[in-house]
Amino acid sequence: MLSNPYEQARWDAVLGADPLELVVMLYRGAIDSVRAARRHLDAGDIVSRSREISRAMEIIVELSTTLDRSHQSELTGRLAALYVFIFDRLREGNAQQTDGPLAEAQNVLEVLAAAWAECEGARQSASEGASVFSRCA
């Protein structure tokens, strides 16, 4: 058991999440890390900036490795390409210590996160509708 109740709550949320919820959590984590990295860049805190960029890069690698490449779908290919783009922008922002590439990575992550969150919301609405329907039937 974790001593910090906030960490424990987050851990419990991860353990209870389905795959779609986990993807949304990963996107949120990556966005939070890029935002923090940008703040640390502005403050001149090199160590913290690098740590946050590394965390975001680890999340992007995780998202990329969990893609189902067995079907060779167009969506999988496009997501893989976007993950490479995001990773490259993070690497460039860290190496050059500039905000532009980090802002680009954050923007793409936010668009993708919104799309996945919309999928999650639609799925929840559909499942709630199904349960309402089954109670009425």
The domain segmentation of the chain, as residue ranges, is: 5-136
CA angle 21, 105, 116 (to 5 degrees): 25
pLDDT at 8: 62
pLDDT at 21: 83
Q: Over the Cα atoms of the chain, what is R_g?
A: 18
Task: Give the rounded distance of the alpha carbon of 73 from its chain centre.
Answer: 21
Q: Is 3 helix (H, G, I), strand (E, B) or coil?
A: coil
pLDDT at 137: 29
CA pair distance 26, 42, nearest whole angstrom: 24
At position 93, the amino acid (one-letter code) is G
Q: Is 126 helix (H, G, I), strand (E, B) or coil?
A: helix
The pLDDT profile of the chain, 137 residues, written as one tens digit per residue, is: 567 766 665 555 555 567 788 888 899 999 999 999 999 999 999 999 999 999 999 999 999 999 988 877 888 999 999 999 999 999 999 999 999 999 999 999 999 999 988 887 776 666 655 443 333 22
* Domain 5-136 fold: Four Helix Bundle (Hemerythrin (Met), subunit A) (1.20.120)
pLDDT at 132: 32
